[in-house]
């Protein structure tokens, strides 16, 4: 089974434990998906996720070193520091999606039909606007640029690094606003 891994954020420049074909690297013509800076991570960065509120952009893809879908999903979950439930996949041979509720199935199906892949996996984390789970400080999504402006020290540096390292083709509405306002190009 030949499996594609989709990426649009730190997976590209910081693959960590991800096992993929480094000779091929990351290709720029992955499926078009609605992506946006809409998740506050544990370290305070504003990160990219698939969301109905996103900008449709072409994602990137690479080839998993695994030929078993379960092992590829597990490897991506380990890289993301999450459970298997936060990894989406499509098995073309079985016409099977996980999660079943994934809203952009046609985007994946239309793309995979143009490839020789048998399956595709991706990080499927939801939007998250709570800064700190302990005190549940909520951020208004319309104020995400202001949120970034207020970050200090290491949090600010990590957030800036994430924005600057995001592949240029991930030109979302808010990325453009962040670059214009903060100069993080």
Task: Write out the two tokens for 180.
Answer: 């214009």
Share of the chain above pLDDT 70, in %: 97
Q: Give the count of domains, the chain.
A: 1
Residue 134 has pLDDT above 90, yes or no: no
- Cβ(185)–Cβ(179) below 8 Å: yes
Per-residue pLDDT tens for 6-45?
999 999 999 999 999 999 999 999 999 999 999 999 889 9
Helix axes 153-165, 173-182, angle to 10 degrees: 120
* pLDDT at site 130: 87
For 105, the enclosing helix (H) or strand (E) is: helix 105-112
Note the pLDDT of residue 117. Answer: 98
pLDDT band at 57; cut points 50, 70, 90: very high
- pLDDT score for 135: 60
pLDDT at 132 over 90: no
User: What integer pLDDT is reported at residue 37 of this predicted model?
Assistant: 97
**The pLDDT value given to residue 51:** 97
* Residue 92 near residue 11, CB atoms below 8 Å: no
Distance CA 154, CA 147 (A): 15
Domain boundaries, position 123: 3-182
């Amino acid at each position: 089974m030949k499996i594609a891994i989709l990426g649009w954020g730190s997976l590209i420049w910081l693959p960590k434990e991800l096992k993929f074909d480094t000779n091929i690297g990351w290709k720029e013509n992955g499926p078009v998906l609605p992506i946006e800076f809409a998740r506050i991570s544990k370290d305070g960065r504003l990160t990219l996720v698939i969301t109905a509120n996103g900008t449709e952009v072409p994602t990137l893809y690479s080839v998993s070193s695994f030929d078993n879908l379960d092992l590829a999903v597990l490897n991506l979950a380990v890289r993301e520091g999450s459970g298997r439930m936060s990894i989406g996949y499509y098995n073309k041979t079985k016409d099977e999606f996980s999660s079943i509720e994934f809203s952009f199935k046609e985007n994946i199906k239309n793309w995979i039909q143009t490839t020789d892949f048998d399956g595709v996996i991706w990080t499927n984390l939801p939007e998250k606007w709570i800064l700190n789970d302990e005190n549940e400080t909520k951020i208004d999504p319309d104020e995400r640029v202001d949120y970034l402006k207020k970050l200090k020290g290491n949090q600010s540096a990590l957030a800036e690094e994430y924005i600057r390292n995001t592949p240029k083709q991930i030109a979302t509405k808010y990325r453009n606003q962040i670059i214009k306002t903060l100069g993080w190009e």
